[in-house]
Amino acid sequence: MRIDGPNRTGGVASRAAAGKAGSGPAFVPAGGAAPARVASAVPVSALTGLDAILALQTVGDFRESRRKSVKRGTVLLDLLEDMKADLLVGKASPDRLGAMITQLSALRERSEPSLDAVLDDIELRVRVELAKHGHYLPL
In a domain, 75, yes or no: yes
If one compares 2 and 117, the residue with the highest pLDDT of the two is 117
Query: Helix (H, G, I), strand (E, B), or coil: what is residue 78?
Result: helix
Residue 64 has pLDDT above 90, yes or no: no
Query: Helix (H, G, I), strand (E, B), or coil: what is residue 5?
Result: coil
Residue 104 near residue 137 (C-beta atoms within 8 A): yes
Task: For the chain, give the mean pLDDT.
Answer: 78
In a domain, 96, yes or no: yes
Q: Which distant-in-sequence residues (6+ apart) come within 8 Å of 96 by Cβ?
A: 79, 82, 83, 86
* pLDDT category of residue 128 using cuts at 50, 70 and 90: very high
Distance CA 73, CA 122 (A): 7
Residue 130 near residue 105 (C-beta atoms within 8 A): no
Average pLDDT rounded to a whole number, residues 18-31 = 60
Distance CA 11, CA 45 (A): 35
* pLDDT category of residue 75 using cuts at 50, 70 and 90: very high
In a domain, 53, yes or no: no
In a domain, 22, yes or no: no
In a domain, 97, yes or no: yes
CA angle (113 as vertex; 80, 67 as ends), nearest 5: 60
Most confident of 6-10, 114-118, 134-138: 114-118
In a domain, 7, yes or no: no
How many domains is the chain built from?
1
* Domain around 117: 66-132
In a domain, 6, yes or no: no
* pLDDT category of residue 12 using cuts at 50, 70 and 90: low
Helix axis angle, 113-132 to 44-89, nearest 10°? 30
| Dihedral angle of Cα 119, 123, 126, 131, to the nearest 10 degrees | -160
In a domain, 122, yes or no: yes
pLDDT, tens only, 29-48: 666 565 556 556 555 556 67
